[in-house]
Amino acid sequence: MENLPKKELINVVKAGMTGSRSAFALAVGRLAVKLKKTDLTLAQEISKFLSMENVMRGAGEFAPAPVDVDSRMELVETIYPVQLAKQPIFDRETQSTLNLVLKEWSRLNELLQEGLAPARMLLFCGQPGVGKTLAAHWMAQELGLPLLTLNLATVMSSFLGKTGNNVRAVFNHAVSRPCVLLLDEFDAIAKRRDDDTDVGELKRLVNVLLQALDDWPINSMLIAATNHGDLLDPAVWRRFEHIINFQTPSHELIEQYLIEFVQNDIARSNLAALLLGESFSTIQQIILSSRKEALLEQSELLKTLVRNSVRFRLSKGGVEKPHEGEMVLMHLEGYSRREIAARLGKTHPTVSKVIKRYLGE
């Protein structure tokens, strides 16, 4: 017993008496690492109890969600199991980071036995519609964990102290079982504490949040998503192991996204170029409305998709050569290529070339 590392032993007892199952497992792992230097056999015996099965026990078994005292509305939305219709498309760097985190979780046993924990707090930054929420759903699906999403409209309160109490209730609920907790619109509860107009409520809220982040267990993942990373309190940034910046999709990713709906290579590439700069969310909406329209009108999906995309981009001034968009729209309205050429002052071959690029004809 004289060889037992006293500090680590005290941490084990403390975690066992006051902490979560995962905090206890991490403390035991760190004790085992120290013991390897003096008593390898004992360290190996202790390490046998450090398994993913033990640490992740109870996933999916939640008590009823906490509610706001005044409105009686639930503070979190729970989805379990999470099942996406298809594999999301992420850029190479984002996919690589997410895969790295999943790899750490898949080897949780090895990490625990070395007194280490997998990355468990991720910050997603980027404009609306670029895939932040979808990525959180995908991570929950891949980990096989429930997804809890903070209901910001219910959590935020005009009463002093109420918002902090609601946030604390959400975290107390989330840490009771392994899960993925998504804090969408994170900047609403993690704003900088240097606002001169603040009466102190914001500072108290951020302090509550920081304490909750520090106490976050290793058998759950916390994902915060924000459209305004510049508004976050500096102390918040340091709590996250990975910060992922989501961008609007590249031409290559849009092509990959469209391949299910547009088989013609030339038309797909040109449509991707037309939609470059739009978010996946916007592109998805254009595809969805086009599919419904094509079904109801018994028309070809590609033509409907191109027509709606051209109209949308022209309305935003997002078409590099607007006259090409006009050519395509006139063609889809039934004008002959010669009529289009005459009306727009272009040659017949030019009109034919543009239509072929957009529609593959």
Domains located in the chain, CATH noted = 6-50 (no CATH), 76-245 (3.40.50.300), 251-359 (no CATH)
Burial 128-149 (b: 16+ CB within 10 A, else e): ebbbbbbbbbbbbbbbebbbbb
Structure tokens at 1: 């017993």
Q: Strand 76-79 relative to strand 147-150: parallel, antiparallel, unpaired?
A: antiparallel
What is the pLDDT at residue 138?
A: 98
Q: Please identify every stretch of the chain with a pLDDT value under 50, giving residue numbers as ranges.
A: 1
What is the pLDDT at residue 227?
A: 93
What is the pLDDT at residue 341?
A: 94
What is the pLDDT at residue 285?
A: 97
What pTM did the predictor assign?
Answer: 0.84
- Closest by CA to 267, choosing from 320, 304, 316, is 304
Structure tokens at 356: 């072929």
Structure tokens at 91: 């850029």
Structure tokens at 328: 């395509």
Per-residue pLDDT reduced to its tens digit, 297-352: 999 999 999 999 999 999 998 788 899 999 999 999 999 999 999 999 999 999 99
Q: Give the helix, strand, coil percentages of the chain, each rounded to 5.
A: 55, 10, 35
Neighbours of 198 (CB within 10 A): 14
Contact 189, 148 (CB under 8 A): no
What is the pLDDT at residue 113?
A: 82
What is the pLDDT at residue 36?
A: 73
What is the pLDDT at residue 70?
A: 81
What is the pLDDT at residue 196?
A: 56
What is the pLDDT at residue 148?
A: 96
66 Cβ neighbours under 8 A, 6+ residues apart: 74, 75, 76, 166, 169, 170, 172, 173
C-alpha to C-alpha distance for 77 and 65, rounded to whole angstroms: 8
What is the pLDDT at residue 30?
A: 74
